[in-house]
Amino acid sequence: MRDEVILMLNGKVILVTGASRGIGRATAFLAAKNHAQVIVNYQKHADQAESLVSEITALGHSAMAIRADVTCEEEVKEMFRQIREQYGRLDILVNNAGIMKNNLLMMTKIQEYQDVMDVNCKGTFLCTQHAAKIMVRQKAGTIINLASVVGVYGNRGQSAYASSKSFVIGFTKCAAKELGAFNITVNAVAPGFIDTDLTADTRSQVKEDILKNIALGRIGTPDDVAKVIVFLGSDLAGYVSGQVIGVDGCEIM
């Protein structure tokens, strides 16, 4: 494929939260390869965020890393202040930062529940609010939220995590309805089982059971999800909004 054909994000400014590892990292890298100007947000792993920025700039593309805990309003505010100062605009927000804590409902400690809700729900809410303030003024923008198949179907042992992802789906639909008038699209992707640090501790028996129920017969990769996010962030998806796009190899839950 010739290079021009894949420059889906030419010049667009994209913020990917939680881009130091996993799906966020793959998304930031693929966006850069499609000539976006990439902002790599992270919380703890500065080394991994900086190594991604180096990989991107070594290819001749633009990237910067910003540390901010998405659960902290002051840090989120400061991140968006830096984005306005550096770029003067924001075209794409990917609310990817997320954590998972699995436990049976009756065993789940309220702090586990709170931690999951803080990152997955409050983080998504806060970053969307701040991005929308920039995008409304531009009368353009696109927001992509990371949901999950378990947010659609539910799952045993995931009452906190799965319901945080159901929040993301409801929130996506509300934001799409409110922000559509400003030419802003809001969509969610709902990955199935993707091979990242988040799922690294999954017991091999559980993995085998999941695999049996995936029609495409393989576990997903971060790139599988990144490709769909880049498509949703591109002008090719300009008339897609309020949708939840499954990226799960046809998993039967």
What is the contact surface with ligand NAP in residues (CB under 6 A)?
17-18, 20-24, 41-45, 48, 69-71, 96-100, 119, 123, 146, 148, 191, 193-194, 196-199
Write down the least CB distance from residue 116 to ligand NAP, Å: 9
Nearer to ligand NAP, 18 or 249 (CB): 18
Nearer to ligand NAP, 15 or 179 (CB): 15
Write down the least CB distance from residue 69 to ligand NAP, Å: 4
Q: Quick one: DSSP state of residue 235?
A: G
Alpha carbons 30 and 82: distance in angstroms, whole number: 23
Alpha carbons 52 and 60: distance in angstroms, whole number: 13
Which residues 6+ apart lie within 8 Å of 159 measured at CB? 105, 108
Contact 98, 114 (CB under 8 A): no
Write down the least CB distance from residue 202 to ligand NAP, Å: 9
Write down the least CB distance from residue 19 to ligand NAP, Å: 6
Phi, psi of 246 (to 5 degrees): -70, 135
Residue 161 known to be catalytic: yes
Nearer to ligand NAP, 155 or 183 (CB): 155
Of 221, 140, 228, 155, the residue nearest 188 (C-alpha)? 228
Nearer to ligand NAP, 66 or 184 (CB): 66
Q: β-pairing, 244-247 with 184-191?
A: parallel
Catalytic residues: 161
